[in-house]
Amino acid sequence: MFTFTVARADAGVRIDAFLSAHIPAVSRSRAAALVAEGRVTVGGAVKKPGYRLRQGDVVAGRVPDPEPLADHLPEPIALDILYEDADIVVVNKPAGLVVHPAPGHGSGTLVNALLHHCPDLGGIGGQLRPGIVHRLDKETSGALVAAKTAEAQERLAAQFKNRSVQKTYLALVWGDFNGAEGRIDLPLGRHPTLRKKMSTRSRRPRTAETCWRVKQRFGGATLLEVAIHTGRTHQIRVHLAAIGRPVAGDAVYGGKKKKGAGKPIQRLLAGARRQMLHAWQLHIAHPATGQKMAFEAPLPEDFARLLERLREEKKSD
């Protein structure tokens, strides 16, 4: 059960946005569903998800227990585990593995693998994403943390929501950079016509900030360390494409469409079979003890091999 009295600062805020901000484990869409189902009241009355709160409103309700998993079964999929204890498990997700079941991916996902590795996950976090508090794109590799208890799930979700988690990626991109580091501060949202894509020219953009630092230069290609301070969908890929430095191998945002790939280094980039983006480092506070923890995911073989070939090509120039 929960009860909130709306403060002056929250007056005018939609009730679904208010609930998402005040209950860490509840997403905006989940909050809207709870309101639409009549599980939330304002002053004792049921409202619509778009209702805008007034100062002094009393918001009350209950978040139901997670539904048991019905169609998503444990599968013996190998996991590269970086760390595990009674509360969390941190894995090095391979490229090509979808994080959670969705239309077209009902099996063979990280969730199916985790359900096999940790049978108790079936009662955490709802039906489709047990224990999952953040995600990586299918073709992005690297460190991902999952909760093994309901309490850990709630506390980790709060960390991601309040942006106290530190995430650093490695990205191999087309082109050169004049400076050693920089920041991209461009709002992101759904593409105005292509609904599966994100864009810096959305009709309903949200703030997004990406910081980059050059790690190695190859002449026509650059390896970057990238830190994100917001967690928008496809953020790194869209931001880097927006400044004309798309991630190598990214077919959606331009990585495979570069022209004039005549130089050996450019030909190597053009041959990338998936986006060269890796979630390298992850810093969190342990959800049970509060201890600061840092994890580093080794580069996958395809990424490491491409970098080595680029280094060799650069030496031969």
Three-class secondary structure of residue 220 per DSSP: coil
- Catalytic (active site) residue 137: yes
Strand partners, 210: 184, 228
Task: Give the contacts of 111 (CB within 8 A, at least 6 positions apart).
Answer: 72, 99, 100, 101, 128, 129, 130, 132
Q: Please state, in angstroms and rounded to a whole number, the distance separating the CA atoms of residues 150 and 187.
A: 33
Distance CA 212, CA 155 (A): 28
φ/ψ bin of 198: left (φ > 0), alpha (ψ from -120 to 50), beta (otherwise) = beta
* The residue to which tokens 């496809």 are assigned: 234
Rounded to whole angstroms, the Cα distance separating 174 from 256 reads 10
Tokens 């991109």 label which residue?
Answer: 173
Q: What are phi and psi of 139, to 5 degrees?
A: -90, 5
Length of the chain counted residue by residue: 317
Among 10, 16, 137, 250, the active-site one is 137
Active site residues: 137
